[in-house]
Amino acid sequence: MKAFIAELEQANVGELLYNEPLSKHTTWKIGGPADLLILPTGKDELVALVKLLHKHGLGWTNLGRGSNMLVSDKGVRGVVIKPAQGLDYMRIDGNTVIAGASYSFIKLSVLTGRQGLSGLEFGSGIPGTVGGAVYMNAGAHGSDVSRIFKSADIVLETGELVRYEREDMRFSYRHSILHELRGVVIEAAFELEEGDRTEITSTLAAHKERRLRTQPLQMACAGSVFRNPPGDFAARFIQEAGLKGFQIGGAQVSELHANFIVNTGQGTARDVLALMSHIQSTIEERFGVSLVPEVLVVGER
């Protein structure tokens, strides 16, 4: 590790933060320290970083906005990569929109809509980055990334830079090939359609109004905690089980949306995991339904 650090500090790949609390980098505001958090400032820097990690035989954890991630209270050992400002860009070429990994998915949805491009309306309430949305095949309102995905530039764990087309991504419900191989999205391209700007912005406004009315966005949370069972909704089961408002430590089932867990102020990863387990066992016992977590749990247990 010492040899890696010495070489890393000479490589100028981005900001290096040692023993950085990851609670500062997740929307749950939960998580212990990363041994080393690295913020690459551009495509070349990210590729160079991954090549250097591979050279030294070191693994890493990828972090976007932290909106779909629960980091353990003990933190993450080794290196955490968080694409930074140099990958926060968007450009439009005809009906194709290209965005860097750290670009806001909500912002992308809103700005393309204002240009009269349709297809990303579903993303107006997904509080993550473009890289995270591709990784998770993020979706809402009956659509998801796979419907509009064109290609992505990805650096694999060997440092090889590849371009994956839609057919390469193995998209399924909240899943992509990036769950099976290690890689970091650098940028992604989405194929949209020309639409009526007034109609698109009206749809975006309706989605926003509904989101503000039904989701606890003023509290620290991480979006939907469990995947929806086929043909149904996780929130329906949790609500019918009477678990809205149920609390363990500083983690509470939201009063607004039953599939959200909020951090009431002093919540820990241990609290969230205990609450998730209680929800799963209750729903299994009451309805015979197994709820599968949608959030990613990372770090030292």
For 9-55, write each residue's pLDDT tens digit. 999 999 999 999 999 999 999 999 999 999 998 999 999 999 999 99
Local structure of 79: helix, strand or coil: strand
| Domain assignment present for 208 | no
CA distances from 230 to 171, 290, 296 (A): 16, 11, 20
Averaged pLDDT, 128-142? 93
Ramachandran class of 80: left when φ > 0, alpha when ψ lies in -120 to 50, beta otherwise: beta
Q: How many domains does the chain have?
A: 3
Local structure of 115: helix, strand or coil: coil
Q: CA 63 to CA 75: how far, in whole Å?
A: 13
Burial 157-172 (b: 16+ CB within 10 A, else e): eebebeebebeebbbe
Instruction: Write down which residue in 85, 112, 144 finishes a domain.
Output: 85
| Domain assignment present for 47 | yes
Long-range contacts of 239-248 (CB under 8 A, 24+ apart): 240/286, 240/287, 241/279, 241/282, 241/283, 241/286, 241/287, 243/279, 243/282, 246/275, 246/278, 246/279, 247/275, 248/274, 248/275, 248/278
Averaged pLDDT, 119-148? 93
Question: Which pLDDT score, from 0 to 100, does residue 301 have?
Answer: 86
Query: What residues pair up with 183 in beta bridges, in sequence order?
Result: 156
Local structure of 293: helix, strand or coil: strand
Question: Which pLDDT score, from 0 to 100, does residue 28 have?
Answer: 97
pTM for this model (two decimals): 0.92
Least confident piece of the model among 32-36, 90-94, 113-117, 138-142: 138-142
Is residue 298's pLDDT more than 90? yes
Do 140 and 180 reside in the same domain of the chain? yes
Phi then psi for residue 250, to 5 deg, are: -95, 10
Containing domain of residue 171, as a range?
88-199
| Domain assignment present for 22 | yes
Question: Which pLDDT score, from 0 to 100, does residue 10 have?
Answer: 92
Residues belonging to the active site: 174, 224, 294
CA distances from 119 to 140, 148, 260 (A): 12, 7, 26
User: What type of residue is 91?
Assistant: R
Query: What residues pair up with 194 in beta bridges, in sequence order?
Result: 117
Is residue 127's pLDDT more than 90? no
Percent of the chain topping pLDDT 90: 90
Angle, helices 43-55/2-11, rounded to nearest 10 degrees? 160
Q: CA 180 to CA 175: how far, in whole Å?
A: 9
Question: Which pLDDT score, from 0 to 100, does residue 211 have?
Answer: 86
Cβ–Cβ under 8 Å, residues 279 and 237: no
Pairing of strands 183-191, 220-221: unpaired
| Domain assignment present for 206 | no
Do 107 and 165 reside in the same domain of the chain? yes
Q: Which residue has the higher pLDDT, 34 or 211?
A: 34
Averaged pLDDT, 224-238? 96
Question: Which pLDDT score, from 0 to 100, does residue 84 have?
Answer: 86
Instruction: Write down which residue in 40, 59, 85 finishes a domain.
Output: 85
Six token digits for residue 89:
């860009």
Q: If you average pLDDT over every residue of the chain, what do you get?
A: 95
Q: CA 29 to CA 224: how far, in whole Å?
A: 16
Instruction: Write down which residue in 199, 229, 263 finishes a domain.
Output: 199
Least confident piece of the model among 107-121, 152-166, 202-216, 250-264: 202-216
Averaged pLDDT, 177-192? 96
User: What type of residue is 177?
Assistant: I
Do 103 and 190 reside in the same domain of the chain? yes
In this structure, what CATH number is given to the domain that contains residue 168? 3.30.465.10
Question: Which pLDDT score, from 0 to 100, does residue 85 have?
Answer: 84
Question: Which pLDDT score, from 0 to 100, does residue 154 have?
Answer: 97
Question: Which pLDDT score, from 0 to 100, does residue 18 have?
Answer: 97
Q: CA 31 to CA 295: how far, in whole Å?
A: 14
| Domain assignment present for 204 | no
Do 148 and 251 reside in the same domain of the chain? no
Least confident piece of the model among 1-10, 148-157, 240-249, 255-264: 1-10
Quick one: how many helices (H) and strands (E) in the chain?
7, 19
Question: Which pLDDT score, from 0 to 100, does residue 279 have?
Answer: 98
Local structure of 120: helix, strand or coil: coil
Six token digits for residue 84:
């930074």
Q: Which residue has the higher pLDDT, 125 or 288?
A: 288
Do 289 and 230 reside in the same domain of the chain? yes
Least confident piece of the model among 12-21, 88-97, 210-219, 276-285: 210-219
Question: Which pLDDT score, from 0 to 100, does residue 1 have?
Answer: 78
Q: How far is it between the farthest Cα atoms of the chain? A: 58
Local structure of 139: helix, strand or coil: strand
| Domain assignment present for 113 | yes
Grade residue 217 by pLDDT with cuts at 50, 70 and 90. Answer: confident
Do 193 and 234 reside in the same domain of the chain? no
Averaged pLDDT, 57-79? 95
Do 110 and 147 reside in the same domain of the chain? yes
Condensed to tens digits (0 to 9), the pLDDT of residues 101-111 reads: 999 999 999 99
| Domain assignment present for 209 | no
Percent of the chain topping pLDDT 70: 100
Question: Which pLDDT score, from 0 to 100, does residue 282 have?
Answer: 98
